Amino acid sequence: MKSYDEMANNVLSRIREYETEQNHKKKLIKRAVISLSSVCIAVLIGIAIWNNLSIQVNTYSENDKNIANGSTYSPDESEYISNQGDNPVFIPKVKLPETSNNDIVADIIGLVVYKGNIYTQTEYYYGEDDGRIKELVGEYLGYATGKINEWSSQDDYAKEFASTYEGNVYSVNGYSTDFRICMYEKFKDEDGNTMIWLQFMEKLNDIELTYGNELFGDRLQIKGRISSVQYQEYYDWNEGKDKFQHLSGVTQDELNAFVEGLYSGKFEYVTDFSSELKHTMLYLRLDDYTTVELELIEGGYVRYQYMGELYYVKMSEDAFNPVFNACINNNGN
């Protein structure tokens, strides 16, 4: 067995090797780009001259063609891509991660297959049965088999009610089954108390989203249904501490404007925020006892907590700042 020092030295040495290799690759790419750029410039000049001499028939770029066909593009997560104009962001279908030495998150999330679509786990409720949560549980849809695990193949995902959880699946009252379904169980704990567990599963993949209202309006329907608002310091959230605080210092008009801004804001791909930016977590408690959990990032960016870390609504700062500043100023960030 290795001592602490031996393992620490090995780790440091492997990190340094990796960094040296990466620097070497970057240099090679830089050189190749410089060489290719020279060639490309020459080719582009040639094409420009040729086009000026030709009849211009096709003015579409590749991206324009995609838009005309109604298709969208999916980003390479390694680089920032800003979707211009009215292009929607596309959230690809959930796939079982491929085995890869470089895969930092060879992960599996809670999911269930319903009507050929994959619904992934979002908000859950667990606690003593007070009767209110039960009202959300709608029509019985089927029994999830719980047979998907890290070793499952892509074919397993094609099976109806294949899932990582086992249990009864229901619709959710007030929500479309195209977006949200749930798993629900009632049971006695070891002390004999009646407990309930309700897990929402939402279809947040294989979809296109252009404006915030497509998620927060059409699907989550938050407008006019917010019964209270709480926030949590980002640090507490990151440390898993459930320290919620009521949002104060925000007028009803400002809150309404925030919701309007969320609806009209545009979805963008963002892969990397500066570490200097402030974050906070906002919890919109709705009148049906559900919660919409949002991450707010300085500059007007909002992410629905259960959406991948790539898809943000960019709000107008006029609508965003009163709520964001109230969270930040109250917690002294």
Partner 1 sequence: MDNGSISYQRFLNGDENGIVEIVRDYKDGLIFYLNSFTGNLHISEDLAEDTFVKLGTKKPQNKSKGSFKTWLYTIARNTAIDYLRRNSKNTEISIDDIQEIISDEENLEQSYIKEERKITVHRAIKKLKSEYQQVLWLVYFENCSNKETAAVMKKSIHSIETLVYRARLALKSELEKEGFIYEEL
- Give 114 or 258: the residue with its C-beta nearer to partner 1: 114
Interface with partner 1 includes 290 (CB under 8 A)?
A: no
Judged by CB under 8 A, which of 62, 79, 130, 190 binds partner 1? 190
- Give 305 or 330: the residue with its C-beta nearer to partner 1: 305
Angle between helices 252-264 and 317-331 (to 10 degrees): 120
Judged by CB under 8 A, which of 42, 49, 109, 277 binds partner 1? 109
What is the rounded CA–CA span in Å between residue 54 and residue 318? 49
Question: Other C-beta atoms within 10 Å of 39: how many?
Answer: 9
What is the rounded CA–CA span in Å between residue 213 and residue 27? 45
How far apart, in Å, are the Cα atoms of 189 and each of 132, 146, 199?
A: 19, 22, 18
Judged by CB under 8 A, which of 103, 135, 287, 317 binds partner 1? 103
| Shortest Å distance, C-beta 9 to partner 1 | 9
Interface with partner 1 includes 80 (CB under 8 A)?
A: no
- Give 36 or 109: the residue with its C-beta nearer to partner 1: 109
With contacts defined by CB under 8 A, name the span among 129-137, 187-195, 220-228, 313-321 that binds partner 1: 187-195
What is the rounded CA–CA span in Å between residue 307 and residue 259? 18
Start-to-end CA distance of the chain, whole Å, equals 45
Beta-bridged to residue 181, according to DSSP, are: 171, 201
Contacts (Cβ under 8 Å, ≥6 apart) of 189: 195
- Give 124 or 140: the residue with its C-beta nearer to partner 1: 124
With contacts defined by CB under 8 A, name the span among 66-74, 108-116, 174-182, 283-291 that binds partner 1: 108-116
What is the rounded CA–CA span in Å between residue 304 and residue 282? 10
| Shortest Å distance, C-beta 160 to partner 1 | 21
Interface with partner 1 includes 277 (CB under 8 A)?
A: no
* The token pair that represents 123 in the structure block: 């908000």
* The token pair that represents 59 in the structure block: 């003015």
- Give 13 or 71: the residue with its C-beta nearer to partner 1: 13
Count Cα atoms within 13 angstroms, Cβ side, for 191.
4
Interface with partner 1 includes 239 (CB under 8 A)?
A: yes
Judged by CB under 8 A, which of 70, 85, 240, 332 binds partner 1? 240
Q: Which of residues 18-77 bind partner 1 (CB under 8 A)?
A: 18-19
Q: Contact, 195 vs 124, CB < 8 A?
A: no
| Shortest Å distance, C-beta 182 to partner 1 | 12
Question: Other C-beta atoms within 10 Å of 292: how many?
Answer: 22
Which residues contact partner 1 by CB under 8 A?
1-2, 4, 7-8, 10-12, 14-15, 18-19, 99-110, 121, 124, 126, 150-151, 164-165, 185, 187, 189-190, 197, 199, 235, 237-240, 309
